[in-house]
Amino acid sequence: MKYLKLIFAVIIFLAPACFVFAMAQNLSYQTIPGTKPKNIIFILSDDHRYDFMGFTGKVPGLKTPNLDRIANEGAHFQNAFVSTALCSPSRASILTGQYAHTHTVVDNQAQAPKSLIFFPQYLQKAGYQTSFFGKWHMGGGGGEPRPGFDRWVSFAGQGVYYNPRMNIDGKVVEYHDNAYITDILTDLTLDWLKKRKKDKPFFVYLSHKAVHSDFKPAKKDIGLYKNIQIQYPVSMFSTATARSKKFTRGQQADSTAYAFNYKDIPQWVRAQRYSWHGVDFMYHGQTDFDQFYIDYLETLMGIDNSVGRVLNYLKENGLDKETLVIYMGDNGFSFGEHGLIDKRHAYEESMRVPLIARSPSLIRAGTKIKEMVLNVDIAPTILELAGIKKPKQMQGSSFAPLLKGQPNASRRKEVYYEYYWENAFPQTPTQYAVRTDQYKFIRSQGIWDIDQLYDIQKDPYEVNNLIRKPEMQTLAKDLNMRLWDWLGKTQGLYIPLKPIDEKKKDHLYKGTW
């Protein structure tokens, strides 16, 4: 009996890895008849909140004319989410079309398994000229080239804002004289576009470091928002007995207009307020919230400028009508909500991201898309627009019909979320969540703490936890079961743990997960 148990345990342990390996080794693909391949530029920013853009009106005085232009002349996805609000897992999900528990890049140290296929590999095989510029950030390494790209520009880990050390097609190049990373990546992108072969379709993956902390604006943008009115969210002081004296430069929203359930705030949320990712001890006291807020906005200006330069190049070269430009954030970011900063958790400001797209030949100007979409949908969408059917291993679904203004009855009715506890940041527990158009259910795994249930429509700030309400028990049970069903159907009933070398801050395991 004990041997049978051992065999069963080995099968359960290896099954997810075998699934990834078996499903991801075949690079063959099927084309979509009658599709004319489009030129596509995918621009990804880091830690950009879904609502910190000028056209949303969230931050009075914030100006992002180029991001606004994409939304006004194209489509704005009003309900775009990531399946994991963390850099490496989300970026891996974008590239593979898979959930984190499938591709196994569950934290910022995990290596991307060699068995994974990134969607640009299909584009490359289909005759596209492909290029990557910027942050890769999946495990250690020095930014060396990855498969699927004819042109490669990257750097190690998070990189730096000024005077970076870049890996350009396998050759290390060092920049000096206050060279700014956002400008460098944009310069190299435009240079490649100018030199590309004009008789072949192209795909650009422009992956910015900005606006990841610690925020450093371009020299010309320093001081641009020094006098801006900082907006403190309604839930910023919900876990504190009184407002701290140090938060004096901003304006707090009227919290009296909302029903707060102070009793049922999870203990881990209360405790995190005074931690690395809390407003009362931010980065262990290394920064001030108000300046942090201003630096973020000023660093974001480099992103908007980059987008503008790309759009101008397309227009000047007669490519702006046919080329699809997609802009997205890799995850959200908290600015005081629930007393927190950063991401990781399953609140709206963490798991929700900006997603806008422009292509006049495809998208009607001013399109507003309310349907929920996920980061795992990016890969199948781009492949469909390139005339390639979705590969079997991808778990996302194309939202191309939504871009075309076509109704899509098969769109998802809920989105699922997962975040796995990290050794480096133990203050946030493993989180699972399911979000519908009206409700969100959050379960903290591995700790003794309260679950959370919110009515998103009535309580968009998630300050009234309904989990103890007698009339909500049936709904809570149903949403919890949906979570378990999703994990079961997607082979997520495990956590792909990988031992970490604490000295190198890198995973010891280098196999083919």
Strands 151-154 and 129-134, bridge-based pairing: parallel
- Check residue 453 and give its pLDDT: 98
Region 396-410: what's the mean pLDDT?
90
340, with CB counted inside 10 A (0-12, 13-18, 19+), is buried
- Check residue 504 and give its pLDDT: 56
- Residue pLDDT, tens place only, 449-479: 999 999 999 999 999 999 999 999 999 999 9
- Residue pLDDT, tens place only, 158-191: 999 999 999 999 999 999 999 999 999 999 999 9
Nearest CA-CA partner of 340 in 405, 275, 292, 421: 275
Region 271-294: what's the mean pLDDT?
93
- Residue pLDDT, tens place only, 423-440: 889 999 999 999 999 999
Confidence of residue 251 (pLDDT cuts 50, 70, 90): confident
- Check residue 75 and give its pLDDT: 98
pTM assigned to the model: 0.92
Half-sphere exposure of 145 (CA within 13 A, CB side): 14
- Check residue 40 and give its pLDDT: 98
- Check residue 3 and give its pLDDT: 43
- Check residue 387 and give its pLDDT: 97
CA 271 – CA 442 distance, rounded (Å): 18
The DSSP symbol for 500 reads: E
For residue 472, give the 3-state DSSP assignment. helix
User: Which residues have a Cβ under 8 Å from the Cβ of 324 and sit 6 or more positions away?
Assistant: 38, 39, 40, 41, 357, 358, 359, 362, 385
CA 70 – CA 61 distance, rounded (Å): 19
Which residue type occupies 91? R
From residue 382, give the alpha-carbon distance in Å to each of 25, 120, 193, 352, 403: 20, 9, 19, 20, 11
- Residue pLDDT, tens place only, 105-117: 999 988 889 999 9
ω into residue 153 within 30 of 0, thus cis?
A: no
Nearest CA-CA partner of 351 in 96, 79, 111: 79
Judge whether residue 79 has pLDDT over 70.
yes
Nearest CA-CA partner of 246 in 288, 293, 282, 294: 288
Q: Average pLDDT of the chain?
A: 91
Region 474-497: what's the mean pLDDT?
95
Half-sphere exposure of 139 (CA within 13 A, CB side): 20
CA 71 – CA 220 distance, rounded (Å): 25
- Check residue 384 and give its pLDDT: 97
User: Which residues have a Cβ under 8 Å from the Cβ of 489 and sit 6 or more positions away?
Assistant: none
- Residue pLDDT, tens place only, 2-24: 444 443 344 444 444 444 443 44
Q: Convert 365-403 to b/e letters by CB count within 10 Å (16 or more is b).
A: eebebebbbbbbbbbbbbbbbbbbebbebbbbbbbbbbb
Which of 17-26, 147-156, 310-319, 409-418 has the lowest average pLDDT? 17-26
Confidence of residue 410 (pLDDT cuts 50, 70, 90): confident
Confidence of residue 495 (pLDDT cuts 50, 70, 90): confident
Quickly count: other Cβ atoms within 10 Å of residue 361's Cβ: 11
The DSSP symbol for 147 reads: T
Confidence of residue 151 (pLDDT cuts 50, 70, 90): very high
Which of 239-243, 297-301, 328-332 has the lowest average pLDDT? 239-243
User: Which residues have a Cβ under 8 Å from the Cβ of 234 and sit 6 or more positions away?
Assistant: 252, 253, 254, 255, 258, 461, 463
User: In the chain, pLDDT over 70 holds for what percent of residues?
Assistant: 90
Quickly count: other Cβ atoms within 10 Å of residue 163's Cβ: 14
- Check residue 508 and give its pLDDT: 46
Region 26-44: what's the mean pLDDT?
93
- Are 412 and 392 within 8 A, CB to CB? no
- Check residue 140 and give its pLDDT: 64
User: Which residues have a Cβ under 8 Å from the Cβ of 431 and sit 6 or more positions away?
Assistant: 344, 345, 346, 417, 418, 419, 442, 443, 444, 445
Confidence of residue 501 (pLDDT cuts 50, 70, 90): low
- Check residue 14 and give its pLDDT: 45
Token pair belonging to 170: 């396998």
From residue 2, give the alpha-carbon distance in Å to each of 6, 7, 15, 225: 6, 9, 20, 66
- Check residue 248 and give its pLDDT: 67
Region 480-497: what's the mean pLDDT?
94
Which of 141-150, 195-204, 385-394 has the lowest average pLDDT? 141-150
CA 217 – CA 350 distance, rounded (Å): 22
- Check residue 259 and give its pLDDT: 84
Region 334-352: what's the mean pLDDT?
97
Under the phi-then-psi rule, with left for phi > 0, alpha for psi from -120 to 50, and beta for the rest, what region is 496? beta
Judge whether residue 344 has pLDDT over 70.
yes
Name the CATH architecture for the domain at 39-497: 3-Layer(aba) Sandwich (3.40)
- Check residue 246 and give its pLDDT: 65
Judge whether residue 405 has pLDDT over 90.
yes
